[in-house]
Chains A and B, each alone.
Chain A
């Protein structure tokens, strides 16, 4: 079974430029997460989707960040314009949340390492 796929793996841009990251979750997984991971830190949730609905975007800086999950499968995270402080690894994760289940194991993708110059 294929894991979570992310692209690109690395991206270097100049500040004020736009950038987009793509994620393809594990087939059949209804929940998708975008995390930001700074060096030496744990993943921090940016947004969580249940199917195509964003159910938790409270930590997403909406002035410059946007995300979409059309058709409840693939997802794109965009930053426009990028700032120096956005340099980090952006992780995508997916899980299968079954109604009535009391936990969900998240499967992470390899991440996109963004460097803003």
Chain B
């Protein structure tokens, strides 16, 4: 089942912070985050596994609350290069192989 992302779009000024949320109706094993710039391939940001861990990647970090079946991506002190569409992909906690299902994305635009 497709995860729900919010907001659908956001505009930031350079240096501002943003939070992108991803929620699922199913118990999750992992959450994957990717960023895609227009006309380019999605680029991997990070994977979070069940256990409520938090990960960081430069000024981009994420959390995973397995009880709430939610993940949040945090972008701090945004840069122009952060512009793009952010996708979360979720893998159900059903044992064995489960495909990753992606949300429709959150379009982020950082302006000077």
Contact = CB atoms under 8 A, between A and B. Distances in A.
Interface of A: 3-4, 40-45, 48, 55-56, 91, 102-103, 105-111
A56 B96 CA distance: 12
A102 B100 CA distance: 13
Contacts of B40: 110
B57 interface: no
B41 A56 contact: no
Contacts of A48: 99
Contacts of A41: 104-105
Contact of B42 (A3, A44, A55, A91): A91
B63 to A, nearest CB: 16
B47 interface: yes
Interface of B: 2, 30, 32, 34, 40-44, 47, 49, 87, 89, 97, 99-105
28 contacts: A3-B41, A4-B41, A40-B104, A41-B104, A41-B105, A42-B2, A42-B87, A42-B89, A42-B103, A42-B105, A43-B102, A44-B102, A45-B99, A45-B100, A48-B99, A55-B97, A56-B97, A56-B99, A91-B41, A102-B30, A102-B49, A105-B44, A105-B47, A106-B32, A108-B41, A108-B42, A110-B40, A111-B41
* Top 3 A-B residue pairs of the complex, sorted by shortest distance between their CB atoms: A42-B102, A108-B41, A108-B42
A115 B44 CA distance: 27
A103 to B, nearest CB: 5
A38 B99 CA distance: 19
A42 B97 contact: no
B43 A108 contact: yes
A28 to B, nearest CB: 17
B48 to A, nearest CB: 9
B107 to A, nearest CB: 9
B49 A103 contact: yes
A107 B32 CA distance: 12
A43 B104 CA distance: 8
A3 B97 CA distance: 25
